[in-house]
Chain A
């Protein structure tokens, strides 16, 4: 060692206590889940697509005024061109405007139906899981009965009678989609109710509803969020099917399925803009939701439990 060279080590300071390991900041389960979610590229793409559709359908009409209300037969079946980026349909309505309007209906029904399904399902599942015994058995048989109902048939029959509005379609679709969330929430509740904090709450005198509201349901949120995402995707597909068969929303409202069923009459005439843009929109929206759901399932179901 050359003289004058400083030692690179800090001077030994015996007054300081030896360092234990640094305690890392505790990350909440939600933060961890979010980080995991963001790392999944497909999920981010899906989220972006969903965001795009939300903006496109709800904010789009503020900037782009495509006429979907006034019939203008002289403009019927115009191919994409000046003034009509996606052409016009048989009534002279602008297809791009129709896409936005149909998208509003699809997204509204999708989210509302999912909300109805998860509300009913979570309540049934929580009550069944918590009560146990005969209540549980009866409720699960009811779930089995509803699961055996052929979904599309019953939805169509109800839609024929009551179907022509966003609200009724959402109720009909949601009213037959709650069985799976009920089962999932029941499973979660069966696990959670054995935990110590539930026992503590019970000992402190918490009643059944307080337990459900404050402890059981919040801890089942992971499972519920994943399921809700897939419910929205399924509801949007259901609306497309019902609309395609002609039992969905009617003028002056419209939905995507309705647009396709009007469009296929002209498939031989080559009016592709009546069919494919709508179809691609449906596929993209459902795909985006499926991406998000898959990623949420990967990130939420494990992380929240670690908390």
Chain B
């Protein structure tokens, strides 16, 4: 197993290096320098060149890349000229909110999807199963903003129960306590995640139900409830581990669409605002960190699965 993990780690590092080069080159090609943003559109070429010289944007790309990575490893994510703050500061003030939104939705999604998948497998092809499968199908064919709009229409406008805007408070504790404002964004994310997760839970539960050890457990006289809880849950949740690992990037990169729709001051909304302002340092740091978390998420999912499933370990 150690050999496998070492190989996986090695591959991940290669991919990380490769992806950092790719994204840096891509963004450098699109936005070579923030000089125009800082100096304004009327600045002439000489001023732009001087600014570039002063801030190191006229160096060869390799040099810029290496110094950027060096800064990244020391916690310097760049400087946002449009917002006049370091990128790290911009991220720090929104990180907690994004983690809260994504984390709580993930938690609820797992709590709902796990039993739902098992229920769907046990009562396969019953009315409940078909309703749930159809609902899941519709939900993942739906763009996330449309689900959000429907929920807003039903729960915030037609029947004014909740607020259509997420909490605007800067304190994470107030946000966490403000269920009236946070309910709809959390519900949107949770429903979409459940729709995705329950598909896998359902098919893995169906697979597990067909296994011999379930038959043996039943033949031994174990009550159905214990069969499900002791044998089924553990084995059917294995794909869930992979899914959670794959969900990690969304957790920290912010749920772009939902945050924009509900005006929630998280990392996703920051990305959207930076797009409109063409705030290249923020976009670069954001995309790089997003990519790092995708790689990390895959690695964590692989490792967790190897730890949880001895069959992979011994294979």
When distances are taken between beta carbons in the complex, the residues of chain A under 8 Å from B275 are 156-157, 160, 245, 247
Contact of A154 among B26, B146, B157, B256 (CB under 8 A): B26
Q: Is A115 an interface residue (CB 8 A)?
A: no
Q: Is A128 an interface residue (CB 8 A)?
A: no
Instruction: Select the stretch in B50-58, B66-74, B134-142, B220-228 that faces chain A.
Output: B134-142
Whether the pair B138, A268 counts as a contact (CB closer than 8 A) is no
Shortest Cβ distance from residue A147 to the other chain B in the assembled complex, whole angstroms:
8
Q: Is A126 an interface residue (CB 8 A)?
A: no
Whether the pair B143, A148 counts as a contact (CB closer than 8 A) is no
Q: How far, in angstroms, from A245 to B271 measured CA to CA in the complex?
A: 11
Q: Is A95 an interface residue (CB 8 A)?
A: no
Given known A152-B256, A154-B26, A241-B257, contact A283–B146 (CB-CB < 8 A):
yes
When distances are taken between beta carbons in the complex, the residues of chain A under 8 Å from B153 are 267, 272
Whether the pair A267, B157 counts as a contact (CB closer than 8 A) is yes
Whether the pair A245, B142 counts as a contact (CB closer than 8 A) is no
Whether the pair A161, B257 counts as a contact (CB closer than 8 A) is no
When distances are taken between beta carbons in the complex, the residues of chain B under 8 Å from A154 are 23, 26, 287
Whether the pair A150, B152 counts as a contact (CB closer than 8 A) is no
Contact of B23 among A147, A149, A237 (CB under 8 A): A149
Instruction: Select the stretch in B12-20, B100-108, B234-242 that faces chain A.
Output: B12-20
Contact of A153 among B15, B145, B253, B298 (CB under 8 A): B253
Whether the pair B294, A148 counts as a contact (CB closer than 8 A) is yes
When distances are taken between beta carbons in the complex, the residues of chain B under 8 Å from A107 are none
When distances are taken between beta carbons in the complex, the residues of chain B under 8 Å from A272 are 153
Whether the pair A244, B157 counts as a contact (CB closer than 8 A) is no
Whether the pair B145, A260 counts as a contact (CB closer than 8 A) is yes
Q: How far, in angstroms, from A275 to B152 measured CA to CA in the complex?
A: 12
Given known A240-B143, A245-B260, contact A287–B137 (CB-CB < 8 A):
yes
Q: Is A279 an interface residue (CB 8 A)?
A: yes
Interface residues of B in 168-221 (CB under 8 A from A): none
Shortest Cβ distance from residue B299 to the other chain A in the assembled complex, whole angstroms:
10
Q: Chain B 1-21 against A: per-residue CB contact (8 Å), 1 yes, 0 no? A: 000000000010011001100
When distances are taken between beta carbons in the complex, the residues of chain B under 8 Å from A290 are 137, 141
Shortest Cβ distance from residue B252 to the other chain A in the assembled complex, whole angstroms:
11
Q: Is A141 an interface residue (CB 8 A)?
A: yes
Given known A148-B294, A240-B143, contact A141–B18 (CB-CB < 8 A):
yes
Whether the pair A145, B19 counts as a contact (CB closer than 8 A) is yes
Q: Is B312 an interface residue (CB 8 A)?
A: no
Given known A141-B15, A150-B290, A154-B287, contact A260–B141 (CB-CB < 8 A):
no
Interface residues of A in 255-307 (CB under 8 A from B): 257, 260, 264, 267-268, 272, 275, 279, 282-283, 286-287, 290
Whether the pair A150, B146 counts as a contact (CB closer than 8 A) is no
The tally of residues in B whose CB lies under 8 Å from a CB in A reads: 42
Q: How far, in angstroms, from A30 to B69 measured CA to CA in the complex?
A: 53
When distances are taken between beta carbons in the complex, the residues of chain B under 8 Å from A141 are 11, 14-15, 18
When distances are taken between beta carbons in the complex, the residues of chain A under 8 Å from B283 are 153, 157
Please name the residue on chain A nearest to B257 by beta carbon: A241
When distances are taken between beta carbons in the complex, the residues of chain B under 8 Å from A257 are 143
Please name the residue on chain A nearest to B20 by beta carbon: A145
Q: How far, in angstroms, from A257 to B144 measured CA to CA in the complex?
A: 11
When distances are taken between beta carbons in the complex, the residues of chain A under 8 Å from B30 are 157-158, 161
Whether the pair B253, A237 counts as a contact (CB closer than 8 A) is no
Q: How far, in angstroms, from A246 to B19 measured CA to CA in the complex?
A: 27
Please name the residue on chain A nearest to B283 by beta carbon: A157
Whether the pair B287, A244 counts as a contact (CB closer than 8 A) is no
Q: How many A-B residue pairs have CB under 8 A?
A: 105
Given known A141-B14, A237-B143, A264-B149, contact A150–B291 (CB-CB < 8 A):
yes
When distances are taken between beta carbons in the complex, the residues of chain A under 8 Å from B272 are 245
Shortest Cβ distance from residue B79 to the other chain A in the assembled complex, whole angstroms:
19
When distances are taken between beta carbons in the complex, the residues of chain B under 8 Å from A148 are 15, 19, 291, 294-295, 298
Q: Is A233 an interface residue (CB 8 A)?
A: yes
Whether the pair A150, B287 counts as a contact (CB closer than 8 A) is yes
Shortest Cβ distance from residue B202 to the other chain A in the assembled complex, whole angstroms:
14
Q: How far, in angstroms, from A23 to B276 measured CA to CA in the complex?
A: 68
Interface residues of B in 256-308 (CB under 8 A from A): 256-257, 260-261, 271-272, 275-276, 278, 283, 286-287, 290-291, 294-295, 298
When distances are taken between beta carbons in the complex, the residues of chain B under 8 Å from A247 are 275
Q: Is B249 an interface residue (CB 8 A)?
A: yes
Q: Chain A 139-170 against B: per-residue CB contact (8 Å), 1 yes, 0 no? A: 00110111111101110111011000000000
Shortest Cβ distance from residue A182 to the other chain B in the assembled complex, whole angstroms:
15
When distances are taken between beta carbons in the complex, the residues of chain B under 8 Å from A150 are 249, 253, 287, 290-291, 294
When distances are taken between beta carbons in the complex, the residues of chain B under 8 Å from A264 are 149, 261
When distances are taken between beta carbons in the complex, the residues of chain A under 8 Å from B287 are 149-150, 153-154, 157
Q: Chain A 220-257 against B: per-residue CB contact (8 Å), 1 yes, 0 no? A: 00000000000001000100110011110000000001
Shortest Cβ distance from residue B212 to the other chain A in the assembled complex, whole angstroms:
25
Shortest Cβ distance from residue A148 to the other chain B in the assembled complex, whole angstroms:
4
Shortest Cβ distance from residue B282 to the other chain A in the assembled complex, whole angstroms:
11
Contact of A244 among B26, B257, B294 (CB under 8 A): B257
| Chain B residues engaging chain A, CB cutoff 8 angstroms | 11, 14-15, 18-19, 22-23, 26-27, 30, 137-138, 141-146, 149-150, 152-153, 157, 249, 253, 256-257, 260-261, 271-272, 275-276, 278, 283, 286-287, 290-291, 294-295, 298
19 contacts between A and B (CB under 8 A): A148-B291, A148-B298, A149-B291, A150-B290, A153-B286, A156-B271, A156-B275, A157-B26, A157-B275, A241-B144, A245-B257, A246-B276, A260-B149, A272-B153, A279-B143, A282-B142, A282-B143, A290-B137, A290-B141
The 5 A-B pairs of least Cβ separation, nearest first, read A150-B290, A287-B141, A286-B141, A145-B18, A279-B146
